[in-house]
């Protein structure tokens, strides 16, 4: 177990004496605050914050981060609040501690919601100060190292959360050492038996590999010396979790995975990286397609290195990474490498590539957070953006855009800017027109074509990958739904008020306030939205404002609602009877869906009319209705080769689309074909039915009605 004196001794290597004194003062404050508290293992609680600070000191983090580490559980687990910490240690340290602290005063419906809301809170704190996540990762790392005292199910829950969120965050920030240790500790907690078996297997093969590793290492070192390249060559070993993942994903045995030998070459300049690459390519033959240049195009977390795979002695595959010493520090410790915290105005001058990319990622997270409906939706979208695989594509001006693997042109558009995504209508990939849903490949050049009148298409949610794109499309849909609901609610309320010679505009302020108070709602817009979504009956609202507290018979000047197109989020068309323009229709309010339109003779509508007459609204079609409407047909035919193709041709000739087709054999000579078509109106449908009816094998054509 470490001590504050031992930590202080280590800090003298890079901190000023007065800064070390502040760290010690925060330790003694935490020790007093946690007096009497113990960990599950029985140790005094203060050993945990001390260990977290020690982890940060290994990264050479600044004194404020170390102070925050010492105090990170004080707000959460003791009676001391943020303002007290601010008085004692300054606002910056208090903000860091508050950012790491969980929400303890709020009751949550589920553990998932609690974790999601805490992650949302931490993201907001990260946006102000990226050091929050470094303290949190160190806290999580020490908790994972000391899981032993917990119940097995709690161990697994914490390990799964770490594997899903914190290990990917460490990867995203380029902190490879922490990521690998977190992954191995999670693997051990979730699959203890597999971990032990794999660890034993790795230990047993290590001795057999030693001679081959030394032979290859010597050969590479001699070649680099001959070419006068000053370099360090080390054999590197994959960590247990990555071996396990490769065995699962590539369906390979442990022996096949361990047949690959990996080495890292570190040099003192970028120029030396490329010279070293040429040197080892002359020594061993490279495998085509296995070379990656992450120096020219760094990974999204700022990682830089050259990767190549060679065929060594006796056909042994050799993986080689070549990088500078600075790149090696960045690869292992990410944004914590050579940490020098400065004010924002200073960071812009000589900012490290990792810091710039980390801040960009946090800003994207912040945008997703602002557009998400709730914390669970936010964490779902954030998890998507934490996956490490990327593709790199170019804008028309040559700027590189990093996207998750499998991303489409729509993801690219939203990555450029939310407005570009909202208004995109088409794209050109490598100067050729391509569908917006096409998955992008690294190296492609993408140009987005936009239109001011275009809007996000809900169908994009079926293929977009990035969290930013999903959040923006959902945000638009919610706003659109709200707007349409308010408009529909206003029309329904006006319709219900008209028999009483009233209108929304004619309501006095007193009547409006009384109405909102009775409905327990803050604004008129919220009331209209609830009516539009079918959560509240317009008739029941009218009861509040009519003097007699009852609704009179509808007057002669009553005007039904008018449908003018097939699109919309709060007016839908019943699948039971498939109403189309020209049919006599009525609608009923369905909670959360808005108005559902039925044919007047539909059995389901008759049942609703008997049970909830207040929910029924009169509705009619506009003179010219835009859009396509599904309709169901039943066609009885004599079995004949090619009859389905003939019907499809006739339907296509009439400009209608077939949404669904189902064939049921009645007997050896006859069958029934159920079709769902998209038509414009009754006249269009009649023309199609006439064209089908004249086919020789067709016995009968009927429209399905409920």
Tokens of 680: 């414009």
Q: Which of 698, 688, 563, 582 is nearest to 632 (CA)?
A: 688
CA distance 224 to 410: 46
The active-site residue, picked from 43, 62, 77, 564, is 77
Q: Which of 409, 376, 378, 379 is nearest to 394 (CA)?
A: 409
CA distance 99 to 93: 10
Note whether 356 and 406 are within 8 A (CB). Answer: no
**CB neighbourhood size of 259 (10 A):** 13
Describe the strand order of the beta sheet including 446-450 as a list of residue ranges: 432-434, 424-429, 446-450
Sign of the CA dihedral 453, 456, 458, 459? Answer: positive
Q: What torsion do the CA atoms of 223, 228, 230, 234 make, to the nearest 10 degrees?
A: 0
CA distance 354 to 49: 27
For tokens 């593709």, name the residue: 391
What is the DSSP-derived secondary structure letter of residue 165?
I
Q: What are phi and psi of 662, to 5 degrees?
A: -140, 130
CA distance 574 to 555: 28
Q: Which of 365, 385, 470 is nearest to 121 (CA)?
A: 365
Active site residue 76: yes
State which H helix or E strand residue 133 sits in.
helix 131-145
CA distance 381 to 400: 23
Q: Which residues pair with 434 in a beta bridge?
A: 427
CA distance 550 to 506: 19
Note whether 435 and 488 are within 8 A (CB). Answer: no
CA distance 56 to 135: 7
How far, in Å, are 406, 539, 603, 642 from residue 502 at the CA level?
56, 13, 33, 62
Tokens of 256: 């096949």
**CB neighbourhood size of 548 (10 A):** 8
Active site residue 129: no
CA distance 632 to 566: 16
What is the DSSP-derived secondary structure letter of residue 681?
S
Q: Are strands 571-573 and 594-599 parallel, antiparallel or unpaired?
A: parallel
Q: Which of 55, 46, 103, 53 is nearest to 76 (CA)?
A: 103
**CB neighbourhood size of 277 (10 A):** 20
Q: Which of 264, 294, 275 is nearest to 230 (CA)?
A: 275
Q: Are strands 261-267 and 317-324 parallel, antiparallel or unpaired?
A: parallel
CA distance 564 to 480: 17
Max Cα distance, the chain (Å): 103
State which H helix or E strand residue 484 sits in.
helix 467-497
Burial class (CB in 10 A: 0-12, 13-18, 19+), 492: buried
Catalytic positions, please?
A: 76-77
């Amino acid at each position: 177990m470490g001590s504050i004196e031992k930590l202080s001794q280590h800090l003298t290597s890079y901190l000023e004496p007065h800064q070390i004194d502040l760290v010690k003062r925060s330790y003694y404050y935490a020790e007093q605050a946690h007096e009497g508290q113990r960990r599950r293992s029985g140790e005094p609680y203060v050993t945990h914050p001390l260990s977290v600070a020690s982890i940060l000191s290994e990264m050479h983090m600044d004194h404020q981060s170390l102070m925050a580490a010492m105090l990170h559980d004080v707000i959460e687990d003791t009676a001391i609040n943020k303002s007290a910490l601010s008085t004692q240690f300054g606002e910056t340290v208090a903000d860091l501690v508050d950012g790491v602290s969980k929400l303890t005063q709020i009751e949550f419906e589920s553990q998932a919601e609690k974790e999601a809301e805490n992650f949302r809170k931490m993201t907001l704190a990260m946006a102000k100060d990226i050091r929050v996540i470094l303290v949190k990762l160190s806290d999580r790392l020490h908790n994972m190292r000391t899981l032993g005292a917990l119940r097995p199910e709690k161990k697994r829950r914490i390990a799964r959360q770490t594997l899903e969120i914190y290990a990917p965050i460490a990867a995203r920030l380029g902190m490879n050492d922490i990521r690998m240790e977190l992954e191995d500790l999670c693997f051990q907690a979730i699959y203890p038996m597999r971990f032990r078996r794999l660890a034993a297997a790795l230990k047993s093969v290590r001795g057999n590999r030693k001679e081959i590793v030394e032979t290859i290492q010597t050969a590479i070192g001699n070649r680099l010396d001959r070419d006068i390249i000053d370099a360090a060559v080390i054999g590197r070993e994959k960590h247990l979790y990555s071996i396990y993942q490769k065995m699962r994903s590539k369906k390979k045995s442990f022996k096949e995975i361990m047949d690959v030998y990996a080495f890292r070459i570190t040099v003192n300049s970028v120029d030396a990286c490329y010279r070293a690459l040429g040197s080892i390519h002359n020594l061993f033959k490279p495998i085509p397609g296995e070379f990656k240049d992450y120096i020219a195009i760094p990974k999204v977390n700022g990682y830089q290195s050259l990767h190549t795979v060679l065929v060594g002695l006796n056909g042994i595959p050799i993986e080689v990474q070549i990088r500078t010493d600075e790149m090696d520090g960045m690869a292992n410790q990410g944004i914590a490498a050579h940490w020098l915290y400065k004010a924002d105005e200073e960071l812009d001058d000589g900012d490290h590539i990792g810091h710039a990319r980390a801040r960009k990622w946090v800003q994207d997270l912040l945008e997703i957070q602002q557009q998400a409906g709730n914390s669970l939706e936010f964490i779902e979208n954030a998890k998507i953006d934490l996956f490490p695989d990327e593709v790199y594509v170019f804008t028309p001006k040559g700027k590189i855009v990093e996207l998750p693997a499998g991303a489409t042109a729509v993801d690219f558009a939203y990555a450029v800017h939310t407005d570009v995504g909202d208004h995109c209508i088409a794209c050109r990939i490598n100067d050729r027109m391509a569908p917006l849903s096409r998955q992008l490949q690294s190296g492609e050049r993408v140009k987005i074509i936009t239109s001011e009148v275009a809007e996000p298409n809900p169908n994009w949610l079926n293929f977009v990958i990035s969290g930013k794109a999903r959040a923006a499309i959902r945000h638009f849909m919610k706003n659109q739904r709200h707007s349409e609901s308010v408009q529909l609610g206003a029309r329904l309320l006006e319709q219900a008020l008209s028999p009483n010679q009233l209108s929304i505009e004619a309501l006095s302020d007193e009547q409006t306030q009384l109405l909102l108070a009775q409905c327990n709602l803050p604004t008129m817009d919220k009331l209209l939205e609830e009516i539009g979504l079918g959560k509240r009956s317009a008739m029941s609202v009218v009861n509040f404002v009519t003097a007699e507290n009852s609704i009179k018979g509808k007057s002669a000047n009553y005007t039904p609602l008018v449908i003018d197109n097939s699109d919309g989020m709060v007016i839908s068309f019943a699948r039971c009877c498939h109403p189309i323009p020209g049919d006599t229709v009525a609608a009923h309010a369905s909670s959360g869906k808005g108005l559902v339109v039925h044919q007047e003779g539909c059995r389901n509508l008759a049942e609703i009319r008997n049970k909830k007459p207040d929910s029924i609204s009169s509705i009619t079609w506009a003179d010219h209705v835009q859009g396509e409407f599904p309709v169901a047909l039943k066609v009885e035919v004599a079995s004949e080769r090619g009859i389905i193709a003939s019907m499809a041709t006739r339907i296509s000739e009439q400009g209608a689309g077939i949404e669904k087709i189902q064939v049921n054999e009645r007997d050896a000579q006859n069958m029934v074909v159920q079709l769902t078509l998209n038509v414009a109106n009754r006249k269009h449908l009649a023309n199609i039915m006439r064209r089908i009816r004249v086919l020789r094998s067709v016995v009968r054509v009927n429209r399905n009605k409920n």
